[in-house]
Amino acid sequence: MSERVHSSPPVGSYVTVWALLILLLALTLGSSFIALHGLNFAVNLAIACAKAALVAVFFMRLRRSDALTRLAAAAAVLWILILVSLGLADVLTRV
């Protein structure tokens, strides 16, 4: 039991991740009110990906998961990339 207690990350590290998430929220909201010459969508999407990665790695503990679990998570992302890229390949190449 004490082994598990020691292996748990301290409360502070979770709070730090949360603070980063709130900071990214402020960034994405703030950037949306500034015209970035068509880059607003890319900035918002990049920040959303960063937030999702923080949640997945720290809150969903992928940082500490074994290879099998990480593979399951990575497979999900792979299927999504296939779905979106093949789908867009059709939409974007239509005349």
Partner 1 sequence: MSVPHRSSVGEFGMWVFLASEMLFFSVLFFGYLVTRLHHPLGFASASRHTDVVIGSVNTAVLLTSSLMMALAGRSAAAGARRSAAGLLAATAGFGLIFLALKGLEYAHDAQHQLVPWRDFSLAFEPDAGGTRLFFWLYFIMTGAHALHLLIGITLVLTLMVVVARARHAIRHAETVEIIGLYWHLVDVVWIFLYPLLYLVSRT
The answer to whether 60 contacts partner 1 (rule: CB under 8 A) is yes
DSSP string, 60-90: S-TTTS-HHHHHHHHHHHHHHHHHHHHHHHH
Contacts with partner 1, 8-47, as mask; x by CB under 8 A? xx-x--xx-xx--xx--x--xx--xxxx----xx--xx-x
Which structure tokens are listed for 93? 């190449």
**Rounded to an integer, what distance in angstroms lies between the CA atom of residue 80 and that of residue 54?**
19
Largest CA-CA distance found in the chain, in angstroms, rounded:
64
Q: How far is the CB of 65 from partner 1 (least distance, A)?
A: 5
Question: Could you give the angle at the alpha carbon of 79 between the alpha carbons of 73 and 84, nearest 5°?
Answer: 130
The answer to whether 52 contacts partner 1 (rule: CB under 8 A) is yes
Residues near partner 1 (CB under 8 A): 1, 4-9, 11, 14-15, 17-18, 21-22, 25, 28-29, 32-35, 40-41, 44-45, 47-48, 51-52, 55-56, 58-61, 63-66, 68-69, 72-73, 75-77, 79-80, 83-84, 87-88, 91-92
